[in-house]
Amino acid sequence: MAPKRRTDSVGSDKLSQIAKKAKTDNENGDGAVTKDPESENILSEFKMTTVLRDSAREKTVFVHGKLGDQDAVVILEKTPIREDALAELFTGSKLKLEMKNDIYSTYRLQPPPQQNAIKATVVCPATEKHVKKYQRQESSLVKETGEDYKSITLPYIEKQSFSVQWVHNILEKKAEAERIVYEDPDPELGFVLLPDFKWDQKQIDDLYLIAIVRQRDIKSLRDLTSKHLPLLQNIFQKGKETILQRYGLAASQLRVYLHYQPSYYHLHVHFNKLGYEVPGCGVERAHLLADVIQNLEADPEYYKTRTLYFPLRADHGLLGQFTEAGRL
């Protein structure tokens, strides 16, 4: 699962206080402060308690602990190797031979410091839901009919009252305005397009952008009908045009899709470079936007009645609702 993009205002204030303390602690005798103290020292206050999950293949680790007196989750991820940095990597690294056998040899390579970065994402204050979300767990495939959605899923969503204030902040340009790469201001057909936090924007091979619709009453795929076709077609067309103009990727090189279930209940569309196996792009959860448009053209109420399948982790509350209803 992708990390949450926003903390609430209390969390932001707390992080600012921690950063200021770190800045003060980092001052030397003559009052000088090292460069960019907030980003360098925020994690010096982090006290680890548990490793929630790690992945050798994805080179990530999820850690639970404390920032000050608040629960926090820190996600550490090795940054990709960039093609334009290979020459420096080859010439500026130190090698230590580990094994040699005929034509094969392996080394421990120590790259230059500037190429040894780790991306750190901080969720603070982290709730129990955040902690459970990042724990390693088994998943089950749920079969949801149109009736199941109305009687089980929708009541669960409404009862949980998942916050999407961070989405509204983006739409109102109260946050992340500088990251927006395209926006259509139309209240019915409009959207904003911006990079997902999983993409560091340093190489095109792992391009990942999100289109967030301006309409605020469309929670997910289940709410879509034929009346939303102009909106979906607008996102599809203008999103592809923007990516071609800005990043040089043709439409044939893109994977454009919606999640069901989504990670947050405000309609948004994912744009990935084809070939980049981003988490959540598999058939269990991803629905190609081209297919969604075609399905709604053929049947205006397609997603109101269609049986949909999606994976849920063992601790997900919705999985418990389906179990109690005898649907698993």
Enzyme catalytic residues: 268
Distance separating alpha carbons of residues 304 and 325, to the nearest angstrom: 20
Give the tokens for residue 46.
Answer: 């982090």
Strand partners, 109: 95
What is the dihedral sign for C-alpha 82, 88, 93, 98? positive
Residues 139, 315: contact at Cβ < 8 Å? no
AA identity, residue 149: Y
Gyration radius (Cα) of the chain, Å: 22
Give the tokens for residue 10.
Answer: 């209390």
Distance separating alpha carbons of residues 192 and 183, to the nearest angstrom: 4
Beta strands in the chain (DSSP E): 46-55, 60-67, 70-78, 94-101, 104-110, 118-123, 139-144, 182-184, 191-195, 208-213, 254-259, 268-273, 286-288, 308-313
AA identity, residue 262: P
Distance separating alpha carbons of residues 85 and 109, to the nearest angstrom: 15
Distance separating alpha carbons of residues 188 and 222, to the nearest angstrom: 18
Segment (H or E) for 178: none
Surface-to-core class of residue 227, CB atoms within 10 Å of its CB (0-12 exposed, 13-18 middle, 19+ buried): exposed
Length of the chain (residues): 328
Give the tokens for residue 58.
Answer: 């994805």
